[in-house]
Chain A
Amino acid sequence: MGKITFRIYKDRAFKIAVCTLSMLSLIPLFLIIIQVILKGASAINWHFFTHLPLPPGEPGGGILNALLGTFMLIIIAVILSLPLGVLTGILLSEIDNKFTASLRILVNLLQGIPSIVIGILAYIWIVVPLRHFSAFSGGVALGLMMLPMIIKSVEETMKLIPLSLKEASFALGVNYTRTILKVILPAAAGGMASGIIIGISRIAGETAPLLFTAFGNPFLNLNPLKPVDSLPLLIFNYAMSPYAGWQRIAWGASLVLVGFVFLLNVVVKTLAERWKIKF
């Protein structure tokens, strides 16, 4: 009898330890969010989203340039990395030989390359030949960062699709290409979309590869061959400035960025629920 009570206590102690430790790990996250909201919320209003930053000393000013710049960079990165990533992911999930095995290792390697190094590469490949900083070069750098994430999510989602589905399609006389495009890809679409959105939320906060590619720009620019600003770049520049007004803008931009990433994660969660496919 005594032994059982001991086990119950042991069980309870374990549960308490697990709960406490997981609470502890969440503390930094809550601190960050509280800090960002406290400092950033006061900066945010409609004006903040629709106006350009002002010179130091003038009250107000917004982040329109960085918002549009960030969206532009994300769009360029997605356009460049999505087709390559999806095709490579299909290849890796479908074919198993020495070539794809080494390709898989290279993809892992690419994922491990520090973002600053990718920035330098984009600088040498694009900024130097074109002779100026540009949104395009920044998009290429971010696209390169996103590529391995897309490849992996496509590969892994496609591998989860049961073979029976492919056989069902073959048995109807459907050829290989159509089977992949019309049966396997649609069945994997939900998972792939989640992977891509997670990828976007990762690159949205990247700063290092943009330092010498997108460069930053206090003015409104929609030309992909000219420098643009991005939220993390703006935060980096304004947070380091000595002006209180600019620092406030940096906090506001931080809140916007955190909110954007949070929103993307919510979208992924709902997508995953809605597109969840039962086999």
Chain B
Amino acid sequence: MENKILEIKNFYAGFGKKWILRNINLAIYKNKVTAVMGPSGCGKTTLVRCINRLHEISPQAVYKGDILLDEKSIFSVQPVKLRRKVGMVFQRPNPFPAMNIYDNVISGYILNGIKLSRREKDRIVEESLKRAYLWKEVKNELFKKGTFLSGGQQQRLCIARALAVEPEILLMDEPASALDPTATLKIEELIQGLKKKYTIIIVTHNMQQAARISDYTAFLMLGELVEYDETNRMFTRPSKKVTEDYITGRFG
């Protein structure tokens, strides 16, 4: 069996009196890409937002059950500390508009008040941008505003920003849904390269994307985990009828 890094146990989450996720049990393996797929409104986004405790910032957010990171409950550590281990890339690229590309990459350090030497900064910026496959395109305009980049470049900048703080897990909430096919392809290639170093959990409603890039797939429907298995097996021999219906395109 592979190395578990994250374990979600009997987990419920929702807003007010309404549960969006019900009784989720799921283990995430280290250095693998896990795709979370399912029809709209099934709770995919809520699930990943619970893993870095961003769910809690919404008013009326509620949850019960537990999530263990390296066998320790994430609810026993400060959210601020947890989020440095669990990075996130959002659906829409959101670079900091008041910062240039260089500062955007190291914003995790700047905003947290961590002082770095000039040399360290240069190294982190270059490395992170290279890992995000953006270095070649921006190395001559590092001091331009990040918002001047194209959508796909902005999204890779956001990935570089998340990687710069060296997280263990990278959460990606439909990172390619606002991008065109070429930019999507670049992001997907990038994810393949990243899994050597990071554990990636990616939300997608696109089945082909899940099949292309992930090692494991979790299929959620109406807030419940229908099936969780190796991607190959799920897409060739799903154990449940609903999963088969979904991946063969009968609904969703």
Chain A positions within 8 Å of B, measured between CB atoms, are: 162, 164-165, 167-175, 178-179, 182-183, 186-187, 189, 277-279
CB within 8 Å for A172 and B94 given contacts A178-B113, A179-B111: no
Q: How far is the CB of A273 from chain B (nearest CB, A)?
A: 15
- Picked from B52, B81, B113, the residue with its CB within 8 Å of the CB of A171 is B52
Contacts of B107 in A (CB 8 A): 169, 172
Show 15 A/B contacts (Cβ-Cβ < 8 Å), sorted by A.
Answer: A165-B96, A168-B90, A168-B95, A171-B83, A172-B111, A173-B81, A173-B83, A174-B80, A175-B80, A178-B112, A178-B113, A183-B96, A187-B96, A278-B147, A279-B147
Q: A168-B96, A172-B111 are in contact. List 20 more A-B contacts (CB 8 A).
A: A167-B54, A168-B94, A168-B95, A168-B158, A169-B96, A169-B107, A170-B57, A171-B52, A171-B87, A172-B84, A172-B87, A172-B107, A172-B112, A174-B112, A178-B111, A179-B111, A187-B98, A189-B98, A277-B97, A277-B147
Q: B110's closest neighbor in chain A, by CB?
A: A182
Is B81 touching A279 in the complex (CB atoms < 8 A)?
no
Complex CA distance for A189 and B96, rounded to whole angstroms: 13
- Picked from A167, A183, A279, the residue with its CB within 8 Å of the CB of B111 is A183
Contacts of A186 in B (CB 8 A): 98
Query: Does chain A have a CB within 8 A of B50?
Result: no
Give the residue among A172, A179, A187 with the most B Cβ atoms within 10 A: A172
**Which residues 71-113 of B sit at the A interface, judged by CB distance below 8 A?**
79-84, 87-88, 90, 92, 94-98, 107-108, 110-113
Is A162 touching B83 in the complex (CB atoms < 8 A)?
no
Query: Does chain A have a CB within 8 A of B156?
Result: no
Q: How far is the CB of B77 from chain A (nearest CB, A)?
A: 11
Q: A182's closest neighbor in chain B, by CB?
A: B111
Complex CA distance for A132 and B90, rounded to whole angstroms: 61
Is B98 touching A173 in the complex (CB atoms < 8 A)?
no
Q: A181's closest neighbor in chain B, by CB?
A: B111
- Interface range for B: 20 to 34
Is B97 touching A169 in the complex (CB atoms < 8 A)?
no
Contacts of A178 in B (CB 8 A): 111-113
Complex CA distance for A182 and B98, rounded to whole angstroms: 10
Q: B90's closest neighbor in chain A, by CB?
A: A164
Query: Does chain A have a CB within 8 A of B220?
Result: no
Complex CA distance for A164 and B94, rounded to whole angstroms: 6
Contacts of B113 in A (CB 8 A): 178
CB within 8 Å for A162 and B147 given contacts A172-B87, A173-B84: no
Complex CA distance for A168 and B84, rounded to whole angstroms: 12
Is B88 touching A171 in the complex (CB atoms < 8 A)?
yes
Q: A175's closest neighbor in chain B, by CB?
A: B80
Give the residue among A167, A171, A174 with the most B Cβ atoms within 10 A: A171
CB within 8 Å for A172 and B162 given contacts A164-B90, A164-B92: yes
Q: How far is the CB of A70 from chain B (nearest CB, A)?
A: 33
- Picked from B90, B94, B108, the residue with its CB within 8 Å of the CB of A173 is B108
Is A277 touching B98 in the complex (CB atoms < 8 A)?
yes
Query: Does chain A have a CB within 8 A of B61?
Result: no
Complex CA distance for A167 and B173, rounded to whole angstroms: 13
Contacts of B95 in A (CB 8 A): 168
Q: How far is the CB of A130 from chain B (nearest CB, A)?
A: 43
Query: Does chain A have a CB within 8 A of B165?
Result: yes
Query: Does chain A have a CB within 8 A of B161?
Result: yes
Q: A276's closest neighbor in chain B, by CB?
A: B97
Complex CA distance for A277 and B145, rounded to whole angstroms: 10
- Picked from A164, A172, A278, A279, the residue with its CB within 8 Å of the CB of B83 is A172
- Picked from B83, B84, B88, B97, the residue with its CB within 8 Å of the CB of A187 is B97
Q: B113's closest neighbor in chain A, by CB?
A: A178
- Give 6 closest A-B pairs by Cβ, nearest first: A173-B84, A173-B83, A171-B88, A186-B98, A172-B108, A164-B94
Q: B145's closest neighbor in chain A, by CB?
A: A278
CB within 8 Å for A162 and B94 given contacts A171-B52, A173-B80, A174-B80: yes
Q: How far is the CB of B170 from chain A (nearest CB, A)?
A: 11
